[in-house]
Structure 1
Amino acid sequence: MEVNIRKEEKALVVSVTGRMDAVSAPDFDTQVEEQVDKGETSLVLDLSGLDYISSAGLRSMLTLAKKLKTKEGDLVLCGLQDVVNEVFEVSGFSTIFEIFGSVEEAMEGR
């Protein structure tokens, strides 16, 4: 898994590529928590390059969303591939997160 982080005008965009599972999720947690601890409270997760997510990855996203909520921040997702979107649908996570088609749409929705 690879995590790329860039600052945009309205939010921090975190692009995740590869697989998010029990092995890689802790690295994701470390990288995004470091940003939140620095004061970032508005995050867009670009998952267009993510081709697999396990329950550990879902847990990481839920934990991040809860942490941001305590700081009056927010987390939105975008670019879910079909296989990842199916995991979100089956798990019910699609009702928990606001999901957009692209980073651009996510930024417009802010």
Structure 2
Amino acid sequence: MNDDHYNIIVDLLNVNFISSSGMLNIVKHQHKLIRQNKGESVFLHVPELVNQSYEVAGFNTIFKFFQDFDSAKIDFSRSNK
């Protein structure tokens, strides 16, 4: 992977709630990474309640969601070629 690329995996395994402020900060961070062509953030183990919140807010079109680390890592490898 490129040293100037920051691919971030956010594991939400033990998260059962995320506030609107928390969601906004994650979106701002993602936007900055993409705008500067520096990478992206993806999510692992997103609980159903949190996933529903992301869908209602329309964030499911901005972020990628994975069930395991290896799938996220493979996706990053494809994106960075």
1: CA distance between counterparts of 2:5 and 2:25?
A: 17
| Alignment partner of 1:49 is 2:14 | yes
Which structure has the higher relative contact order (CA within 8 Å, separation 6+)?
2
| Alignment partner of 1:65 is 2:30 | yes
Percent identical among aligned pairs is: 29
1: CA distance between counterparts of 2:12 and 2:38?
A: 23
Equivalent pair of 1:41/1:71 in contact (CA under 8 Å): no
* 3-state secondary structure, aligned to 2:16: strand
2: CA distance between counterparts of 1:106 and 1:59?
A: 22
Equivalent pair of 2:5/2:38 in contact (CA under 8 Å): no
Aligned residue-pair number: 73
Q: CA RMSD in A?
A: 1.7
- Detail structure 1 runs of 4+ shifted over 6 Å in the superposition: none
Higher share in helix: 2
Q: Normalising to structure 1: TM-score of the pair?
A: 0.59
User: What are structure 1's unaligned runs of at least 5 residues?
Assistant: 1-9, 11-38
Q: In the alignment, which residue of structure 2 is the partner of 1:96?
A: 62
Deviations 1:17-63 (A, max 9, x none): xxxxxxxxxxxxxxxxxxxxxx6611111111111011111101101
Q: In the alignment, which residue of structure 2 is the partner of 1:86?
A: 52
2: CA distance between counterparts of 1:49 and 1:74?
A: 22
1:102 corresponds to which letter in structure 2? D
Q: In the alignment, which residue of structure 2 is the partner of 1:107?
A: 73
